[in-house]
Structure 1
């Protein structure tokens, strides 16, 4: 199996890049987010890869970091989600955003991906809820190590209750659940606190309100 390629980009378009590795050109399928990142890079690049082998084809999928690769691996374990749908989801959601959407049960965020309907999005949220701790990184926001992710990374009872109250208050103010969850998570990771009003105010600042 090809697990990584290092070489020079020949061309990148339509969510595929051609990587020249010592004179051999490899066609690697990438997410829209990765395509945007590669567009700003020059010289030699390294891509982590997953290879799918079928009777009539061998297809490579490339990722700039472990978090996206691991998110891809999790997504394709969901019934009805193939590699194409997984890459579509990762084109609109970073691994951090995907994690937050799953924790918050926000299928609408997942359904933003091209070709992913509400039924598949709901399945992603449901089936990955217990597996989300396997995503190795959250883009530097807050690492999730196990199934305690549902309580914002294993907070104790009082802190988890405060966390939930803050998210609910923001949702009642009209913010999306995933957006609210992410903002409160960032506040909790930075400063913690035990005052609901202060936490809501800090979360509003995080969202630029």
Structure 2
């Protein structure tokens, strides 16, 4: 199984790159975000790879970083999401943006991806919301001195209600998650929804 390729960019298409590795051209399907990050033809490039082997084909899917490959695999755990749809989602949403969108249950954002209709968007948001919520709040402020919130607190009702309230007020999912995470760390696990919202609004006003 191929897990990584490094070579010379031989050509870039709408959904793939041909990577010349020692004289052998590998056709690797990628998200549009990954394709945009690659150098022009003749440049050196390195991609993490997920290899799919079927009876009638072998397809290689390439990623600029491990988090994109991780979410490519996670998304395909949802019924109705194949490799192409997973790449379409990752083409419009970076991994951190996808985490925030899923945690907030933002079906409209998911529906912007090619091949994702309202029903599939609802299924993806429903099945991955809890996982994404824990990841989102655990990552916010990771560069700071505070330890990540516990898994129980990350997915607690007060936090989710505060996120929902901020979303209803028109705040973007990424901004709302950052503010609520900061408020939760400052107020502790016994904070009420009202206290979290008030503190979060102060964070957003800074």
Mark yes or no: TM-score above 0.5: yes
TM-score normalised by the chain length of structure 1: 0.76
Aligned to 2:177: 182
Q: Is the 8 A contact 2:4 2:49 kept in 1?
A: yes
Gaps of 5+ in 1: none
Q: Which structure 1 residue ranges, 4+ long, deviate > 6 Å from structure 2?
A: none
Cα deviation for residue 57 of structure 1 reads 1.4
Deviation of 1:108 (Å): 1.6
- How has the CA–CA distance of structure 1 residues 70 and 188 changed in structure 2, closer, same or farther, with 3 Å as cutoff? farther
Q: How many residues align?
A: 192
Question: 1:134/1:65 Cα in 2 relative to 1: closer, same or farther (>3 Å)?
Answer: farther
C-alpha RMSD over aligned residues = 3.4
Q: Tell me the TM-score normalized by structure 2.
A: 0.76
Alignment of 1:11-90 (within 5 A): 11-39=11-39, 43-90=43-90
CA drift of 1:129 comes to 3.2
Give how far 1:30 is off: 0.3
Query: 1:148 — aligned with what?
Result: 151
Q: CA deviation at 1:204?
A: 4.3
The Cα offsets for residues 80-136 of structure 1, whole Å up to 9 and x where unpaired, read as 10001000000011111111122112222211111101111111112223544897x
User: Do 1:7 and 1:21's aligned partners in 2 also have CA atoms closer than 8 Å?
Assistant: yes
Looking at structure 2, the residues matched to 42 and 179 of structure 1 have their Cα atoms a distance apart, in angstroms, of 37
1:203 maps to 204
Q: C-alpha separation between the residues in 2 aligned to 1:147 and 1:193? A: 14
Of residues 103-112 and 19-28 in structure 1, the stretch that sits farther from structure 2 once superposed is 103-112
